[in-house]
């Protein structure tokens, strides 16, 4: 009895400690992400009203490249740096990662780059949280938990999805294993950050996108078959996006030795590509920035088959050239527009196809099927939960050993023939 009471007192002390830390992380990360989202909204509005600014993409890229080359060499790996520190903690993540990635992402969107915002929120969260490792005298295992909590807070605040944010942080760095030792701080930080973020109302109100909720669809062999079929396509698309990202990044690194010139040259190519596309009947503005209006439109009308392909190309090129931003919102765009376009030939409701594509491509590109299923339920409702889950799991399997995060570790290989990749990083397994 005495031993049990002692254990419970220790557990209570442990919980109190992480509750305190999680509150601090949630407050700071939620506030930082709120200001980032307000800056991003300003940049998007400014750009949309002055599309001539796309011609300044090379200049914007050069500025981003110079800032990172001279001030951000120790944070240039971005999300992969966070994963490296979670897997094998070594050095405190420099706090400068947070402002640099926020400013770089806002600049990318201001000048018309095709990018997202999740990576920025995650990097801000991880960098801010890790500053408390020394203050609270945390050991390596505790520091790992702290970074996970920061990642959860950043993801949750960006999208307004605390359940998905928490599980994403627990699931993302080791494929096939969820880190339960960090479950309480991850959930607490995610919930607090989400609530803090939406309380900010100056200079603008922080709001998250609310998507259409597809109607419930009765299960049948045919609906499950078609969901399985399109999910395979979502997985292959996710794999294509991941490989395109790494292809462009490797190409720029090999061909241009001076890093600041990479986004400069990339900006020239992007500006000319947007101009050339503008000479056709295609509305090139759909592929600039986040593309949230197009994602919303995908749930109510059929998208053209080339929409997902052009967004995939422009985003992978933008990020590969060295511009800053996340990949997840573009993945939403790619998945939703692909699902919408598939309604031309697949006898499933348009909105359902857009929703399962939205989360399916995301799942395949990040290897986080549980988090993506939860995100789908948070955004689209539990009435289509089975379809969301099936899409995420199948896309995850068919995306192979690919990811937008090359530092992920393969704890669980996706096919017995690939067992030699066990416990390797994706970067090593693909060499």
Model pLDDT for residues 310-338, shown as the tens digit of each residue? 999 999 999 999 999 999 999 999 999 99
- Tell me the whole-structure pTM to 2 decimals: 0.95
Asked if 12 and 51 sit in the same domain, the reply is: yes
Asked if 129 and 238 sit in the same domain, the reply is: no
Mean pLDDT computed over 409-417: 83
CA distance 145 to 123: 15
* Residue 426 reports pLDDT greater than 90: no
Name the pLDDT band for 7 (thresholds 50, 70, 90): low
Asked if 271 and 379 sit in the same domain, the reply is: yes
* The total number of residues written for the chain in this structure: 431
Structural domain including 140 reads 2-197
Q: Phi-psi category of 160—alpha, beta or left, where left has phi over 0 and alpha has psi -120 to 50?
A: left
**Residue 35 or residue 89, greater confidence:** 35
Asked if 159 and 234 sit in the same domain, the reply is: no
Asked if 176 and 231 sit in the same domain, the reply is: no
* Residue 3, pLDDT score: 56
DSSP character for 284? G
* Residue 413, pLDDT score: 86
**Residues 164, 170, 172, 174: is their CA dihedral positive or negative?**
negative
Q: How many domains does the chain have?
A: 2
| 205 in a structural domain | no
| 361 in a structural domain | yes
Mean pLDDT computed over 372-401: 97
CA distance 394 to 379: 20
| 212 in a structural domain | no
Name the pLDDT band for 9 (thresholds 50, 70, 90): low
* Residue 5, pLDDT score: 47
Asked if 151 and 242 sit in the same domain, the reply is: no
Cβ neighbors of 280 (< 8 A, separation 6 or more) are none
Cβ neighbors of 366 (< 8 A, separation 6 or more) are 168, 172, 328, 331, 372, 403, 404, 405
CATH at 395? 1.10.3080.10
* Residue 202 reports pLDDT greater than 90: no
Name the pLDDT band for 206 (thresholds 50, 70, 90): confident
Asked if 230 and 378 sit in the same domain, the reply is: yes
């Amino acid at each position: 009895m005495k031993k049990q009471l002692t254990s419970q007192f220790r557990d209570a002390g442990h919980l109190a400690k992480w509750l305190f830390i999680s509150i601090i992380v949630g407050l700071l990360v939620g506030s930082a992400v709120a200001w980032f989202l307000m800056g991003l909204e300003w940049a998007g509005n400014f750009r949309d009203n002055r599309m001539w600014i796309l011609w300044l993409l090379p200049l914007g890229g050069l500025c981003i490249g110079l800032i990172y080359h001279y001030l951000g060499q120790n944070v240039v790996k971005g999300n992969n740096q966070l994963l490296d520190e979670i897997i094998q903690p070594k050095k405190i993540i420099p706090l400068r990662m947070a402002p640099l990635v926020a400013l770089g992402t806002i600049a990318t969107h201001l000048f018309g780059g095709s990018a997202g915002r999740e990576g920025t929120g995650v990097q801000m969260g991880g960098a801010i949280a890790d500053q408390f490792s020394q203050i609270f005298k945390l050991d390596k295992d505790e520091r790992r938990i702290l970074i996970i909590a920061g990642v959860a807070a950043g993801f949750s605040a960006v999208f307004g999805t605390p359940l998905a944010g928490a599980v994403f942080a627990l699931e993302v760095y080791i494929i096939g294993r969820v880190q339960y030792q960090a479950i309480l701080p991850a959930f607490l930080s995610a919930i607090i950050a989400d609530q803090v973020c939406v309380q900010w109302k100056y200079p603008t109100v922080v709001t998250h996108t609310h998507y259409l909720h597809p109607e419930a669809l009765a299960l049948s062999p045919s609906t499950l078959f078609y969901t399985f079929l399109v999910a395979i396509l979502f997985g292959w698309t996710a794999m294509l996006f991941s490989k395109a990202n790494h292809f462009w990044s490797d190409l720029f690194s090999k061909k241009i030795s001076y890093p600041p010139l990479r986004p400069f040259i990339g900006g020239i190519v992007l500006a000319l590509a947007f101009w050339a596309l503008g000479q056709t009947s295609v509305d090139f503005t759909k592929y600039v920035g986040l593309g949230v209006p197009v994602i919303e439109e995908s749930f109510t009308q059929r998208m053209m088959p080339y929409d997902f392909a052009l967004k995939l190309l422009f985003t992978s090129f933008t990020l590969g050239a060295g511009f800053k931003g996340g990949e997840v919102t573009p993945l939403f765009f790619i998945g939703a527009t692909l699902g919408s376009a598939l309604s031309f030939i697949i006898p499933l409701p348009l909105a359902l196809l857009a929703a399962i594509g939205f989360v399916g491509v995301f799942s395949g590109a990040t290897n986080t099927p549980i988090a993506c299923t939860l995100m789908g339920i948070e955004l689209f409702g539990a009435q289509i939960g089975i379809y969301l889950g099936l899409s995420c799991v199948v896309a995850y399997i068919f995306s192979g050993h690919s990811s937008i995060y090359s530092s992920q570790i393969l704890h669980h290989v996706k096919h017995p023939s690939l067992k030699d990749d066990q416990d390797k990083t994706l970067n090593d397994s693909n060499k």
